[in-house]
Structure 1
């Protein structure tokens, strides 16, 4: 017997799914986590999600679904955090491949449900952008969530939609969808986060990182992404709420429009029509720009001087925390230098590391 958790957006949602399995279910039945291999450009220099043909070492589960074990490897230049997650967490990670559109994702989900006969099926989204209409000015990445939502409403099985950390993805203010939040299912605690071991020390997810930080007690305002979006860390941030699946589909225009799509290109075309853009286009453009940006030398004295200037400005904006992804871009370093920058800062000022976030101070000791 097992549980199935569908990580709506891939990336950090897969980590949050493992945290949910540990915190809500106690890990008694090892959950299978169905997730995209979509880690954005900090980890994967190739835009968009990875498919099964981008890996070696996958293990077949059903004709359309493969497991990503610890021994699997992405084929260069692609990158993926999934093999390392499989190595460090007790869960089984199954690959969700969106290249056959919503029809393909639905087929994968049906096959996996028939194979596993799971005791429960949860669709988990961190932040709440799965509840977007599609026209919100702050919405940045609706495509992956809309695809999983479209598929989950087309399987003949009970799927429970869960939203963790309302607003933590910086895409929708919680007030925009608070009326849709139903039963409080769980409030994450520090113990839930600790069960993940060291995963959040290296995984780049900002939303799940903030979810973990708030479970450990962090409160304030955190700047994220390349644009420095402010996200409020509140008592609501570590909560998980159930949302009616039909209400979510009724609200999400993109999910309804892509129900019968058979290719990822079709999904992107619908996203451009409804939302005005495809998030994969943004990744394509940014990847092309990053190829022309040589890495800058990480000189410790220079970095700390830049940090002090950044923190002074951030304090004036009312910012109390930031992510290492945002720090990397705000200090004008290459995304591949994120891990090195993080190590340098923590070793220089360990008191400012409020795992896995960086705490802002204008008076470093």
Structure 2
């Protein structure tokens, strides 16, 4: 008996898939999780998603699909969280490769379904940007979700679309998503977070960190991304909704436009046309800007006064929590320093660590 979960946007969606798999099917053995190797410059300086040629040590599942085992390694300078996920979690992580466009992703899905004959197939998105029309002002990362949605709608199999934590990616507001959300399949709890709790100590995903935090009861406003978007942490956060797959496709203009694409370049071109941008272009520009930036001095004497100023300004904006990737950006540190910064802050001010988020001090100045 095999289950297949497709992590719609890669990155943190794969971690959320592992959490949801344990919550819904905990006694039935781990699932196969099909996911992009795409960490949005949070792991390594190379923009865009990794294909199979960016790794050594992959394990072939079907002609078009490889697994990423613990011993696999990304080829420098690329980076990926997938080998470490494979080492720490019991699931099989299969590599979703978008470089042949929707045609290629559809072929991967069809091969996996034929090979695994899964008893269930779930397509999981954290936040809900898979339901984006394409013109939302805060939309930042529609490409991966549109690819998987377009492919899922062409596979001759029953696929259930799940949206966890509506609004938690900071791109679409929960109120805007509510009319299309279906029944609540599950409300995540602190107990559900435990199987991935160790992963959350190092994984850079902001949306999945907030999903886990709300499941643990954290409430407030969390500031995320380099732009400092405010994301409400509410009772809606830990809920997982089912959404009609066809209705999702009818909303998602980019997914409809790319149905017959055969290359990632084509998908990017449609994204620029439909949404006005390609997120990989943004990553290219940011990678060029980050290139050669030297690491900033990282010790308590240098960091904590700057953190105090950041927290004062954030509290005045009504912010109660933030993520470690955002603190790294806000303090103008190199992304490679994120883990060291996290250790420094937790050791210096452990009372502010609202796992896996950082809680602002309570008294505004």
User: Shared topology, TM-score over 0.5?
Assistant: yes
1:132 match: 132
Matched, 1:360 2:360: yes
- Structure 2 counterpart SS, 1:70: coil
Report if the CA contact (8 A) 1:163-1:241 is conserved. Answer: yes
CA distance in 1, matches of 2:247, 2:267: 21
Report if the CA contact (8 A) 1:311-1:362 is conserved. Answer: no
2:74 match: 74
Q: CA deviation at 1:29?
A: 3.0
Report if the CA contact (8 A) 1:308-1:362 is conserved. Answer: no
2:180 match: 180
TM alignment of 1:304-319, pairs within 5 A: 304-319=304-319
Divergent runs of 4+, >3 A: none
2:9 match: 9
Which 5+ residue runs of structure 1 have no aligned equivalent? none
1:58 match: 58
2:215 match: 215
1:230 match: 230
Report if the CA contact (8 A) 1:306-1:331 is conserved. Answer: yes
Q: CA deviation at 1:197?
A: 3.8
CA distance in 2, matches of 1:295, 1:363: 31
Matched, 1:273 2:270: no
CA distance in 2, matches of 1:23, 1:59: 27
Report if the CA contact (8 A) 1:122-1:159 is conserved. Answer: yes
Q: CA deviation at 1:294?
A: 1.3
Q: CA deviation at 1:44?
A: 2.3
- The C-alpha deviation readout for 1:175-227, integer Å capped at 9, x for no partner, is 11211100100011111111114100000000000000010010000000001
1:251 match: 251
Report if the CA contact (8 A) 2:299-2:344 is conserved. Answer: no
Equivalent residues, number: 364
CA distance in 2, matches of 1:29, 1:248: 30
Q: CA deviation at 1:363?
A: 5.3
1:46 match: 46
Report if the CA contact (8 A) 1:67-1:94 is conserved. Answer: yes
Q: Aligned Cα RMSD in Å?
A: 1.0
CA distance in 1, matches of 2:108, 2:44: 24
CA distance in 2, matches of 1:363, 1:249: 46
Q: TM-score, normalised by structure 1?
A: 0.99
Matched, 1:336 2:356: no
1:95 match: 95
Q: TM-score, normalised by structure 2?
A: 0.99
1:20 match: 20
